Structure 1
Amino acid sequence: MTPPLLGSGSTPQPVRACIFDLDGLLINSETLLTEARNSTLAEYSRPSMSGTVKASLQGRSAQESTRILYESANFSSSTKVEEARTTTTTTPTPTMEEFQSRLDRRLREVFGTTRLMPGVEKLLRNLTRATTTTTSVVGDKGGSSGGTGSERKKNRVELALATSSQSAMYRLKTDRLSGPDGVLSLIPQGHKVLGDDERLKRGRGKPFPDIFLLALEVVNETVRKKENEREIKPAECLVFEDAVAGVEAARRAGMRVVWVPEKWLRDMYVGREGEVFSSAGRSAGEGEMGMDGAEAGESGWGEVLSSLEDVDYEKYGIVVGDEQ
């Protein structure tokens, strides 16, 4: 069941889990993906993607993004495709499957060159030694007065990954960064949820909240094994995203979110950043969130950063320990 959207009247709790997107946030694969898509379009004498189309593809599954791209390029209908394939042209119109196949070949060429985005290594290394303190209400241990008290507990910050990338492409993008000494290995393997995870329902990718809720569930599987530590709630999660669809998914999951858009995307929303945060409820037909972007920032439920280098740990109740 999807948690209710949190309004500006709710006070954020200290963050106990950080959940990361992958493409365009931790690694520069969005830039490589754009280059591959545009070069594939050019092979069929189509212009490069517009910013609007590019933004609409972010965070989507490979199948969904290819469908959107194929339709936006105004390729012929299936009937006309067959007619075109029988003519002698230098750039015959492809079927969607042929377009996807050619794009995949190009992606396999470029994804082996991915690199970390600025601030990623420092952020992940800091979070692996970070803690947060929560306060829980406890009953009177004596049982005679029926009174209650509070108990403060220090917990380590849990890390997870929630990406629309499917297994094969994920490995291609991250092999160099996920080995024993790789930065992405700082996120536990069991806390990584990929787009083709069999526990996810088909057709429920971002902006639906499912992938973030599943990421929280796998984190809580770890938490349940610890002594005297309660499960983490959605409101205690901080999602890092670069895509609008991902921000929507995180907010619809009832989680706090840090939006780190690339410059071209942020430029598209200059003066309209609130639309990104306030669109979460509307996109699912769930009504308004009860806050716009400014309110989200003021209340601590959402903020926009230019880089992961700018994360303010204290704002989220996170304390980074000394290096060992």
Structure 2
Amino acid sequence: MSRFLYKASRCPLIWSSSSLLLRTSSSPSAPRTSSYLFTTATAIQRPHLTASKPLAVPSRASNPKMTVTQHIEVADAPALDPTLPIKALFFDLDDTLLLNPTIINLDSALKDHGAEPYPSNQHAMIAGLTAEGMVEAIHKWAPHATYDQLMEAYARWRTERMGECVIREGVKDLITRLANAQTVIQTTEVKKPAPSRTVSNRDITTPHSTLNNLNKVDIAIVTNSALERAAAKLKPYPELTSVFSSPDQLVTTSHELAKSRNVKSKPHPDLYNLALDIVNKARKARGAMELLPSECLVFEDSIVGIKAARAAGMRVIWNPVDNVKKFCEKLVNGDPDCTVGLDKHDFGHHVEDHKKWWNGQDPWVEVVQTFENFDLKKYGIEVISAEK
């Protein structure tokens, strides 16, 4: 049974045998949150109901002193169930599928206003945030410039350098395998959902490969980027656009369903919950069984993305970019220089998250150095050619 939760910092967490309760802090300085009660059965059967009202993030216009970076914790993961193979793959876009000159753009925005480059270790802390979150962070580094001035400069550099995005090592190989072959799970039969879904009715016996559309592994991109910007980044890469060809395979906060649900960006789990709901709708239409969150594998580059995926109850492949890798290596080796200045900007929880997941303390998160020759069979996925 997979139980999962996310919560705001300073919000007390209360466990019971049958339910979980997230209680908001009474402190006026604490982030505004929503309180809700849900049973463990609800968390498994309809995960988006447990996260439909996550931490409320006010707009900067309504609160100029807002802090975009937020601390979301994930409850300890239960043991992995080896009988549940992966049946859906979700990919982050920026710095997961495509490498972006984000650090250069942020430092260029600072330089435009006479500020020094943002420290490398702090760049590692803000990886994966929305543009608003990253500019909020560098604004603290250069308070003499206004937030709006820095945002304008960053947006300009981001647009000018969009052509410098490059496909990440191993991505073409992985996506090509998914595009040029039928990807299926190993199963004995296709089972219709029971009226009351439980893990027990998904037991798998002796596996065999079946070339069957009902068993197709679903894939989608799930990103904090705006829809138009994400599409523009993908356009030069037909090896990606040919696979992620459906509008429902590009899940952003601009998605039609996201707008109706008031979906929040990562590190909130909303986008991954939405992606799973979209996949399950498509699976139901073709007569396939709907998926549990634990049957989804997420590819991410940042702690922000990992938090979102784990809070949604999904498994994660973490392939951090070089800057974050170097930070993690220094961190676990006890290099005191790698944390200089982080305490001044409330990055302490990010440091612990990097250490925890880099050290493999969460069995639901696996660190990889490349996507080259990624072993799909390890996750119960088999690529079957058309001739087979």
- TM-score for the superposition, normalised by structure 1: 0.75
Q: Which amino acid letter does the alignment assign opposite residue 237 of structure 1? A: C
Query: Equivalent residue for 1:85?
Result: none
Query: Equivalent residue for 1:246?
Result: 305
1:116 lines up with 2:167 in the alignment: yes
Contact 1:8 1:295 in 2 (8 A): no
Query: Equivalent residue for 1:207?
Result: 267
Within 5 Å, give how 1:77-116 maps onto structure 2: 93=145, 95-116=146-167
**Any unmatched runs of 5+ in structure 2?**
1-48, 52-73, 193-200, 333-347, 350-355
Deviations 1:213-239 (A, max 9, x none): 111111112111112x11011000000
Once the two structures are TM-superposed, the CA of residue 167 in structure 1 deviates from its matched residue by: 2.2
Once the two structures are TM-superposed, the CA of residue 138 in structure 1 deviates from its matched residue by: 6.9
Query: Equivalent residue for 2:46?
Result: none
Of structures 1 and 2, the one scoring higher in RCO (CA 8 A, sep 6+) is 1
Match of 1:260 among 313, 319, 328: 319
Query: Equivalent residue for 2:129?
Result: 60
Q: Which amino acid letter does the alignment assign opposite residue 72 of structure 1? A: W
Once the two structures are TM-superposed, the CA of residue 307 in structure 1 deviates from its matched residue by: 1.0
Q: Which amino acid letter does the alignment assign opposite residue 27 of structure 1? A: L
Query: Equivalent residue for 1:46?
Result: 115
Instruction: Give secondary structure in 1 for the equivalent of 2:50.
Output: coil
Q: Which amino acid letter does the alignment assign opposite residue 219 of structure 2? A: L
Contact 1:7 1:291 in 2 (8 A): no
Q: Which amino acid letter does the alignment assign opposite residue 193 of structure 1? A: V
RMSD: 3.1
Instruction: Give secondary structure in 2 for the equivalent of 1:258.
Output: strand
1:156 lines up with 2:216 in the alignment: yes
Within 5 Å, give how 1:100-249 maps onto structure 2: 100-128=151-179, 129-134=182-187, 154=210, 155-177=215-237, 181-187=238-244, 188-197=246-255, 199=258, 204-227=264-287, 229-249=288-308
Q: Closer, same or farther in 2 for the Cα pair 1:37/1:295, shift >3 Å?
A: closer
Task: Give identity over the alignment, percent.
Answer: 27
Deviations 1:97-118 (A, max 9, x none): 1221122111111102322111
Q: Closer, same or farther in 2 for the Cα pair 1:127/1:7, shift >3 Å?
A: same
Q: Which amino acid letter does the alignment assign opposite residue 112 of structure 1? A: G
**Number of aligned positions between the proteins:** 276
Once the two structures are TM-superposed, the CA of residue 150 in structure 1 deviates from its matched residue by: 6.4
**Any unmatched runs of 5+ in structure 1?**
77-92, 140-147, 274-281, 284-289
CA distance in 2, matches of 1:62, 1:203: 17
- TM-score for the superposition, normalised by structure 2: 0.63
Deviations 1:283-321 (A, max 9, x none): 7xxxxxx99953534xxx221011111422121011112
1:9 lines up with 2:75 in the alignment: no
The structure that is helix-richer by fraction is 1
Instruction: Give secondary structure in 1 for the equivalent of 2:160.
Output: helix
Deviations 1:17-51 (A, max 9, x none): 0000000010111xx12111111211222111223
1:25 lines up with 2:25 in the alignment: no
